[in-house]
């Protein structure tokens, strides 16, 4: 009888029927047309049922989605027909409380991470009732859609705003696989992920790399995948000149825009022509005064004989801090805690991010408080980061790229939240409790970066990731249709031309999403066969 057991088991598994029901895939279509393109080419590659929620499309643009036949969506919802508008009413607290318990979410964490509820809200101060009522309408809408179609997958952009984050979390709690294009912090290298992690086999971390590169070779690799030049171009294009054509045109369009899309988005609540003019002029003047303060009070010299730990400030607001590490979004508190935890012989070098210029820098009071810390040095934003990193003993970050760059320059690092590279590099320490910080700093300062670990990380990046630069791609399609924030006519022939022109990258993205879908279907079959 024992000899028959393997045969019986094999036969049982073989007789289990394969998954025959079509996958139901919900697409979130937003300000770009990337996901519409993915839906178009995915439909050609895979027999499935497609549904969509369209964000920020009304008027002429909505008409296109209502009449288009290129992608056979079985049903489409328009977000702002159901949710997203500010209402000053008493929220249903019983419903919101039940939702938090049902999905294991915290509404206020999401709310505080929303940039347009805080410092980015130039026209309106949101009340408690307005915020909670907004969440309530969004939650009821999402539950209605998900209950109706019960999708297997949702294909959606990476989290950036509260209403996208909310849908992410609900889908996660309901067991709906979320697929997003996620950047790996290595330039244009991206993954399609439902966990914000790179998929790899455990043995890949144990095997010896075939073509071991030196640190110099790895640094050259990193430089080839550096997006600093893109950020510099963006900063350069945003230089202040109150009287230049671009600035004047931007303010004019915002003041005199008649777009229903612009008026109804919650980000524009309270917007009036006088407030727009006042806010734009005020912020541009503040930008100049804050830059002047930085020029006068921040250091440009990096001493070679000084022991220091390096903390590059994150751009704020930013998804990787506000959403990924919500309890560390107050970077002044982070700086203070880092400074407290340093050994006596070390200073903390804090550098402002040069990309804060188009965002009008931070308040002068922020910089004054940093300058008031006795073991902290404020570094000018335009001092090259690599110049500081090379001379540092340790790099500290919340979730930034700086900690990854540190490994390429043989420097250990400490982060406060999960990063895509944490599990690959033992020289990157993650803090789970701030009380651990002093001891972790002392351990990290003695840690050397292992060349083999870094080679394995690069190999896995090359094996598991694909090249996709959203900035380059967006710059190409924006002149065609502007964005879905714009109320523009889109004909089906125009859209077909756009899809044909971008066929290669869109087909590739569709294929990468399909890989993840089939991986999940394989898991489904495996689970079914084990029952």
Query: Model confidence over 160-219: pLDDT tens digits?
Result: 899 999 999 999 999 999 999 998 888 889 999 877 777 665 555 556 566 799 999 999
* Residue 134 backbone phi and psi in degrees, to 5: -65, -45
Which pTM does this prediction carry? 0.87
Q: Which residue has the tokens 């002392």?
A: 442
CATH of the domain at 150: 3.40.50
Q: How confident is the model at residue 400, as a pLDDT?
A: 85
Local confidence band at 238 (pLDDT 50, 70, 90 cut-offs): low
Whether 161 and 65 map to the same domain: the answer is yes
Whether 455 and 475 map to the same domain: the answer is no
Q: How confident is the model at residue 530, as a pLDDT?
A: 43
Query: Model confidence over 338-362: pLDDT tens digits?
Result: 999 999 999 999 999 999 998 899 9
- 10 falls within a domain: no
Q: Is the pLDDT of residue 14 over 50?
A: no
Residue that finishes a domain, picked among 426, 447, 462: 462
Q: How confident is the model at residue 16, as a pLDDT?
A: 43
Q: Between 142 and 241, where is the model more confident?
A: 142
Average pLDDT over residues 297-313: 95
Whether 369 and 476 map to the same domain: the answer is no
Local confidence band at 403 (pLDDT 50, 70, 90 cut-offs): very high
> Mean pLDDT, the chain, as a whole number?
85
Q: Which residue has the tokens 């080839």?
A: 224
Whether 224 and 88 map to the same domain: the answer is no
Q: How confident is the model at residue 240, as a pLDDT?
A: 53
* Residue 430 backbone phi and psi in degrees, to 5: -105, 130
Low-confidence winner among 85-89, 284-288, 304-308 (lowest mean pLDDT) = 85-89
- 369 falls within a domain: yes
Whether 163 and 97 map to the same domain: the answer is yes
Residue that finishes a domain, picked among 433, 462, 491: 462
Whether 456 and 480 map to the same domain: the answer is no
- 71 falls within a domain: yes
Whether 236 and 172 map to the same domain: the answer is no
Q: Is 78 left (phi over 0), alpha (psi -120 to 50) or beta?
A: beta
CATH of the domain at 256: 3.40.50.2000
Low-confidence winner among 1-5, 181-185, 232-236, 284-288 (lowest mean pLDDT) = 1-5
Q: How confident is the model at residue 120, as a pLDDT?
A: 60
Q: Is the pLDDT of residue 12 over 70?
A: no
- 206 falls within a domain: no
Whether 194 and 284 map to the same domain: the answer is no
Q: How confident is the model at residue 241, as a pLDDT?
A: 54
Cα Rg of the chain, angstroms: 25
Q: Is the pLDDT of residue 1 over 50?
A: no
Query: Model confidence over 442-470: pLDDT tens digits?
Result: 999 999 999 999 999 999 999 999 999 88
Share of the chain above pLDDT 70, in %: 81
Domain count of the fold of the chain: 2
H/E segment holding residue 414: strand 413-415
Sign (positive/negative) of CA torsion 442, 443, 444, 445?
Answer: positive
Q: Is the pLDDT of residue 404 over 90?
A: yes
Q: How confident is the model at residue 520, as a pLDDT?
A: 76
Local confidence band at 11 (pLDDT 50, 70, 90 cut-offs): very low
Whether 367 and 478 map to the same domain: the answer is no
Low-confidence winner among 66-80, 243-257, 281-295, 364-378 (lowest mean pLDDT) = 243-257
Residue that finishes a domain, picked among 410, 427, 462: 462
* Residue 295 to residue 358: CA distance in whole angstroms: 16
- 67 falls within a domain: yes
CA dihedral in degrees (151, 156, 158, 164; nearest 10)? Answer: -80
Q: Which of 5-9, 248-252, 272-276 has the highest mean pLDDT?
A: 272-276
Q: Which domain holds residue 425?
A: 215-462
Q: Which two tokens stand for residue 144?
A: 């209605």
- 13 falls within a domain: no
Q: Is 150 left (phi over 0), alpha (psi -120 to 50) or beta?
A: left
Query: Model confidence over 475-498: pLDDT tens digits?
Result: 665 545 555 446 677 889 989 998
Local confidence band at 371 (pLDDT 50, 70, 90 cut-offs): very high
Q: How confident is the model at residue 35, as a pLDDT?
A: 94
- 402 falls within a domain: yes
* Residue 131 to residue 16: CA distance in whole angstroms: 49
Inter-axis angle of helices 34-45 and 492-501, nearest 10: 80
Whether 232 and 350 map to the same domain: the answer is yes
Q: How confident is the model at residue 253, as a pLDDT?
A: 54
Whether 329 and 433 map to the same domain: the answer is yes
DSSP string, 294-363: HHHHSB----TT--EEEEEPPPSS-HHHHTTSGGG--HHHHHHHHHHHS-TT-EEEEE--GGGTTTT---
Whether 495 and 429 map to the same domain: the answer is no
- 286 falls within a domain: yes
**Largest Cα span, the chain:** 90
Low-confidence winner among 59-68, 83-92, 274-283, 319-328 (lowest mean pLDDT) = 274-283
Mind spelling out the 3-state secondary structure of 125-151? Answer: CCCHHHHHHHHHHHHHHHHHHHHHHCC
354 and 382 Cβ atoms separated by less than 8 Å: yes
Q: Which of 91-100, 201-210, 274-283 has the highest mean pLDDT?
A: 91-100
């Amino acid at each position: 009888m024992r000899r028959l057991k393997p045969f019986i088991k094999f036969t049982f598994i073989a007789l289990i029927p394969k998954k025959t029901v079509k996958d139901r895939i919900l697409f979130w279509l937003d300000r770009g047309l990337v996901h519409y393109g993915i839906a178009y080419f995915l439909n050609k590659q895979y027999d499935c049922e497609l549904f969509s929620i369209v964000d920020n499309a009304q008027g002429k643009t909505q008409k296109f989605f209502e009449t288009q036949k290129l992608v056979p969506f079985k049903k489409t919802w328009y977000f702002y027909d159901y949710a997203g508008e500010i209402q000053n009413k008493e929220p249903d607290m019983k419903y919101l409380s039940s939702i938090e318990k049902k999905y294991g979410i915290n509404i206020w964490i999401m709310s505080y991470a929303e940039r347009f509820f805080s410092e980015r809200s130039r026209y309106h101060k949101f009340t408690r009732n307005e915020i909670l009522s907004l969440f309530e309408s969004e939650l009821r809408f999402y539950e209605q859609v998900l209950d109706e179609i019960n999708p297997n997958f949702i294909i959606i952009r990476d989290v950036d705003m509260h209403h996208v984050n909310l849908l992410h979390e609900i889908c996660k709690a309901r067991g709906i696989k979320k697929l997003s294009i996620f950047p790996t912090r290595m330039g244009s290298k991206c993954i399609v992920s439902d966990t914000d992690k790179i998929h790899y086999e455990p043995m890949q971390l144990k095997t010896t790399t075939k073509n071991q590169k030196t640190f110099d070779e790895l640094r050259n690799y990193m430089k080839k995948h550096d997006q600093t030049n893109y950020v510099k171009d963006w900063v350069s294009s945003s230089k202040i000149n109150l009287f230049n054509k671009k600035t004047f045109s931007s303010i004019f369009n915002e003041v005199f825009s008649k777009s229903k899309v612009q008026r109804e988005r919650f980000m524009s609540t309270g917007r009036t022509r006088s407030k727009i003019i006042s806010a734009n002029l005020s912020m541009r003047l503040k930008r100049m005064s804050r830059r002047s303060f930085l020029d006068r009070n921040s250091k440009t010299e990096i001493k070679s004989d000084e022991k220091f730990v390096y903390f590059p400030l994150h751009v704020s607001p930013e998804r990787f801090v506000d959403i990924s590490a919500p309890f560390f979004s107050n970077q002044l508190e982070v700086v203070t805690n880092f400074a407290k935890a340093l050994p006596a012989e070390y200073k903390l070098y804090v550098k402002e991010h040069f990309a804060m210029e188009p965002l009008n820098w931070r308040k002068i009071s922020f910089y004054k408080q940093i300058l008031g810390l006795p073991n902290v040095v404020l570094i000018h934003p335009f001092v090259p980061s690599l110049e500081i990193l090379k001379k540092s003993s340790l790099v500290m970050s919340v979730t930034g790229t700086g900690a990854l760059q540190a490994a390429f320059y043989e420097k250990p690092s400490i982060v406060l939240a999960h990063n895509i590279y944490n599990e690959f590099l033992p020289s990157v320490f993650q803090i789970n409790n701030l009380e651990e910080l002093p001891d972790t700093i002392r351990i990290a300062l003695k840690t050397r970066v292992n060349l083999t670990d870094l080679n394995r990380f690069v190999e896995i990046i090359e094996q598991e990731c694909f090249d996709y630069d959203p900035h380059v791609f967006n710059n190409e399609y924006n002149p065609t249709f502007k964005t879905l924030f714009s109320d523009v006519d889109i004909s089906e022939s125009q859209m077909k031309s756009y899809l044909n022109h971008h066929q290669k990258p869109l087909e590739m993205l569709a294929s990468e999403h399909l890989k993840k879908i089939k991986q999940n279907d394989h898991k489904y079959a495996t689970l079914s066969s084990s029952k």
